[in-house]
Structure 1
Amino acid sequence: MADEKMFCFQCEQTAGCKACTGNAGVCGKPFDVALAQDELTGALVGLARTCRVAGTRSEAADELTVDGLFTCVTNVDFDIEAVNAITERVRAERDRLAAERGVRPAVDLQMGGLWSADEDVRSLKSLVLFGIRGMAAYAYHARVLGRRSERVDAFFSKALALLGDELTVPELLPLALEVGEVNLECMGMLDEANTSTYGTPTPTEVPLAVEPGPFIVVSGHDLRDLDLILQQTDGTGVSVYTHGEMLPAHAYPRLKAHPQLKGNFGTAWQNQRTEFDAIPAPVVFTTNCLMPPKASYSDRVFTTEMVAYPGLRHIDGDANEKDFTPVIERAKELGGYATRQERHGINGGTTVTTGFSHGAVLSVADKVVDAVKSGQLNHIFLVGGCDGARPGRNYYTEFVRQTPKDSAVLTLACGKYRFNDLDLGTVAGLPRLMDVGQCNDAYGAIQIAVALAKAFDCGVNDLPLSFVLSWYEQKAVCILLTLLHLGIKGIKLGPTLPAFVSPNVLKVLVDQYGIAPTTTPEADLAELLA
């Protein structure tokens, strides 16, 4: 590995909008971890090709595939030992399966060959790879709640095996769209898992202040980890606050039934190094986006599941038996704040509202339809996606701020922190700003759009509905592919276009789907409302 060079361009903040190639990525990932993740990816391809030759997959192979792909998502795993451990398990399962079926195990894919391939082939294979990495996160969260899909598991193996084949651009384009198709099923599976376990989310106002006394901050996306922490803090006097993508948990009836679930701490993931500085409480990262912690609070950061960072305490255990006692005891030791801490969103608001799931919105679908038909509601904007540190993301704040008063804004994922504390008022008796949930709740936004199209007997592209998206990492990639699979056109994407999309591939996206970069709020609003 010593002679290899780091090459990573899977996230939006990649160096120079080209690729991270030095000693560390902009995300803080060291070059040796980047190379180890390439080695893990190559081993996953070897496992998938072995399954193809053997004509079968194993449950262990399916689980290791999801775990391995999820490990390589940006800001998940910075620990080379943890990455290498998964790689060895992948190879062991490959060899075991090959021996059982009497076939020769396939060799690992050398990722350097992919990164140096013809730029259009590299672009499309990267689109597929990054898309299935994002989808793996959703499959993992669903599996934690006992949900699996044969189609989803089979597709992971199929896509990985094909990454090792000599494929042409015409062969790779439909594979990329198939990622979007299967991801729709995967997000639907996770939606069903979440709602059947924790109830249908309902609109809920969430305070940003922090009350006196010991508390725990829980970040990430995994509702099961939050559920366990809430169960284990019942009656302890320790409060629980969400952070980042965990905010929508407040809207689930069975989670908000715990009185110690008090509010939301801080804003989006990229502000954590400031907001967690000297925090008198432990923080638990259940999924990305973990940033390398500062010394001022690293002694109170815990990781779990696939998240890992050298020197941080990791909470092991399966989804039903995990013990968060060390976190609870640390919260009691630190004691929290002595007095109530008033905190604000980036626009000065003191509360945010979440929980406008497809179940909640469709329960008042008749009001939405009547408002559109009567002319009270003239446009709906879906402004969602990832937040990030690159300059220019205030575009989304200004875009939402400038939307007409006879329009509504649906939002989801952590990009909403740019504007979710704004008071936009109401339109036709409905809130103008509606937080649908986490990034996987793009499924819910799609269900809302499809239901409206059915009500108006038209296609989604014929609705007064516009998509203005921000991206950062691989879950945004698979969601974009889902929207393209559904034929959604005219998407605005920013703050930059993906570095891994070649000019020729971009031309296809522009010609077939009208996808375009964001420009200015004023110009984009004028175009979308024309």
Structure 2
Amino acid sequence: MSMFCRQCEQTAGGTGCTKVGVCGKNEDIASLQDTLVFGLKGISAYAHHARELGARDEQVDAFMHDALFFTLTNVNFSLERHIEMVLKCGEINLRIMEVLDNAHVTRFGSPAPAQVFTGTKAGPGIVITGHDLLDLEELLKQTEGTGVNVYTHGEMLPAHSYPELRKYKHLIGNFGTAWQNQRTEFENFSGAILVTTNCVMPLTDKCSYGDRIYMRNITGLEGGKQILDRDFSEIIAHAKSLPALPETAGDYTIATGFHHSVILSLADKVVEAVKAGKIKRFFLIGGCDGAKPGRNYYTELAQKVPKDCVILTVACGKYRFNNLEFGDIDGIPRLLDLGQCNNAFSGIQVAVALAKAFNCGVNDLPLSFVLSWYEQKAVAILLTLLHLGVKNIRIGPTPPAFISPNVFKVLNESFGLQLITTPDEDLKAILG
């Protein structure tokens, strides 16, 4: 992300810039400012969805203004002040995740575990990808009784856990996996496609589905058709004109819907299993996924986690292993999908509740965080965990490019933040 050098009045690092770094600063200040801006983008995404549902928070709005103003006018460039602001970003992200979670529950009901069909039903269909549950609700209302079936994709999977969404019988199931697989998966979907956020692969000349793809609101995919309001009549008519989907059984079902309210309702059973030694450790394995080599680490890690451990997962990173069978421990599923990336809030609530039950700090729990990161929302969630003082988080497959080596070193020394290595090495270090 290029920045402007006040002293040279040139793009920092450009041919006309006489300073090293940004505005005469070292790369660590530039790194922290970039981290803050990326974190703000994540907060903006959650605040956008919350606002669409009628929920706003003055403290979140004020921080957005203050933090962006800070990156423009901070003349003294204090490293300590930048670290403070970055951690404050994590605090505010926690706040907006809670606001969004409450808005989702108020509108769509309390999530409950669901087994989601992954095949298709004969007839016309629309697949919806992204994150916006309000778009899905309106699409379901407008397609009801039309003969057009609706399928979720990617981060829309957790929609099946909300009672006010799954009550629609033509919400058939989940088609496909994570966003980076869209090109292959959408080629194999004969219906229309609705994209609700920018977790989307750009169209290329090889994409045959370009004329079938529609975008909602802020989504900026070049080549797709824009729907600025929630009038889905055009995409519904288009879906009816396209070849019908075949009847297919699907290779497996996917479990989702383990919101913190669900897990906390099992708290006594979970605590009892831990005390009895039946559950030895919890692993939170998830985050934002991508196509870069090395991400198969998360599949292998989940497969190698001992059978007396429970895996919590969140965001699209779950697709690395949520098609596998993990069994249960005394009726407690070993794989618990918390939901969308913003449902990292549920993971935090579970950790806090367990710490309270065992009368210890979160870092004293048998709980390990192994996260995949890709973009802004993952950065915001990582900052939230650091704000809460969570230590020894492993991230990968590579460090964020905008975090300088020295800043990463500070995070390692202060919080134990570290890169993943291999599943075997990391499990050996975690399990001792």
TM over 0.5: yes
2:356 to 449, 454, 458: 454
5+ residue gaps, structure 1? 1-6, 9-37, 43-106, 345-349
* Counterpart in the other structure of 2:70: 162
Correspondence list, 1:188-337, <5 A? 188-277=98-187, 279-294=189-204, 295-317=207-229, 322-337=230-245
Kept in 2, the 8 Å contact 1:377–1:428? The answer is: no
Kept in 2, the 8 Å contact 1:191–1:441? The answer is: yes
226-235 vs 279-288, which moves further = 279-288
Query: Would the alpha carbon gap of residues 174 and 147 (structure 1) be closer, same or farther in structure 2, given more than 3 Å must change?
Result: same
1:340 to 228, 247, 250: 247
Residues 116-137 of structure 1, C-alpha deviations (whole Å, 9 max, x = no match): 4121111000010000001100
Aligned equivalents of 2:300 and 2:350: distance in 1? Answer: 25
- C-alpha displacement of 1:278: 5.3
* Counterpart in the other structure of 2:301: 399
Is 1:112 aligned with 2:11?
yes
- C-alpha displacement of 1:429: 1.6
TM-score, normalization by structure 1: 0.77
Aligned equivalents of 2:335 and 2:406: distance in 1? Answer: 37
Residues 230-271 of structure 1, C-alpha deviations (whole Å, 9 max, x = no match): 011111111100000000000000000000001001011111
TM-score, normalization by structure 2: 0.94
* Counterpart in the other structure of 1:379: 281
Is 1:471 aligned with 2:376?
no
Instruction: State the Cα RMSD in Å.
Output: 1.6
* Counterpart in the other structure of 1:32: none
Please give the secondary structure, in 1, of the residue aligned with 2:211: helix
1:133 to 25, 41, 55: 41
- C-alpha displacement of 1:336: 2.3
Aligned equivalents of 2:201 and 2:286: distance in 1? Answer: 22
Correspondence list, 1:450-529, <5 A? 450-529=352-431
Aligned equivalents of 2:232 and 2:423: distance in 1? Answer: 45
Aligned equivalents of 1:262 and 1:136: distance in 2? Answer: 31
Kept in 2, the 8 Å contact 1:215–1:335? The answer is: no
* Counterpart in the other structure of 1:87: none
Is 1:150 aligned with 2:55?
no
Kept in 2, the 8 Å contact 1:305–1:316? The answer is: yes
Kept in 2, the 8 Å contact 1:221–1:438? The answer is: yes
1:440 to 322, 331, 342: 342
- C-alpha displacement of 1:466: 0.3
Aligned equivalents of 2:287 and 2:160: distance in 1? Answer: 19
How many residue pairs match? The answer is 416
Aligned-pair identity in percent equals 52
Aligned equivalents of 1:114 and 1:157: distance in 2? Answer: 27
Aligned equivalents of 2:316 and 2:167: distance in 1? Answer: 24
**What amino acid does structure 2 have at the position aligned with 1:218?**
I
Query: Would the alpha carbon gap of residues 206 and 487 (structure 1) be closer, same or farther in structure 2, given more than 3 Å must change?
Result: same
Query: Would the alpha carbon gap of residues 331 and 507 (structure 1) be closer, same or farther in structure 2, given more than 3 Å must change?
Result: same
1:361 to 263, 273, 277: 263
